[in-house]
Structure 1
């Protein structure tokens, strides 16, 4: 077995995590960083996507930290299976490159967040806690790279299908909030850009999720890209 594994107990209410990364040294380093926070417990480590899926079925973690480029089934397919499984966990994708084509596919597969691997330990722990709380953390560097990629495409490439009809349910303000979220802006940043209170932004985002039928912010962002909002 290539993965270390701890007791499947709840650990006194600590968040239960699985780290999926094919680089053994990096995997161990991520686990070590996470366990500096007494509220987090790494219950399993996987060296490939198939092992990550198996560990999630056995250990039922709250959050999986997922590398996308792994042998066997990659992190995208692993994410798809974990999210669709009987005991779904939230998936935080870790990537090296901000222009990683896999990021978009990971969002479509059901990932709740993505973060660059060069993020600080504090940022990593913050991301895990945010994802476990049902929020989505979208690294601005990566989301803005996706926006740039779409903006640089030809009109036919940028929008391959009619706008998702769910986007038509949004008010003008809700579309503005979603567009900024898709660009990687946090709620405080959106509030500043739109001259709104942060509580108002949160209310708009809740309404966006409800109208789109999205489970979280990351899925709403995926809908905005796939549905053509970011190319309109």
Structure 2
């Protein structure tokens, strides 16, 4: 199976359609032959089956879309599941701990600025999260912090302050 007999494999990134009829058994089989391998399934599958795959050892299931752009997002999310201490920037993985934390206008972090830019473009928290490869809850946390730093009471007020202050254009 996948050359696992002849060498150690660090990551198996598998299209869900190739693991059918049983993605759970596929995950078990990979891990039985190579226990240290990170298994990430990509594609659409029943949530119960996805949960069962994770329960037997898959690192995660990343829902893939129908377009090339959706596939790139799904693959990037898969890479981030396997390498949580790395950050993907313009298609290249870089060590996040090696990058200095720089503060922008009014003490906003780069991530807070990214969230603010998303808000200024009219994106929802979920859309911003997908763009930044973070959860919606993480976006909400960044939003609360930037509201506090800008003295804003809500999204509209934060965006207005950002435009007035020249933080976004």
TM-score by length of 2: 0.42
Bigger radius of gyration? 2
Which structure has the higher relative contact order (CA within 8 Å, separation 6+)?
1
TM-score normalized by structure 1? 0.32
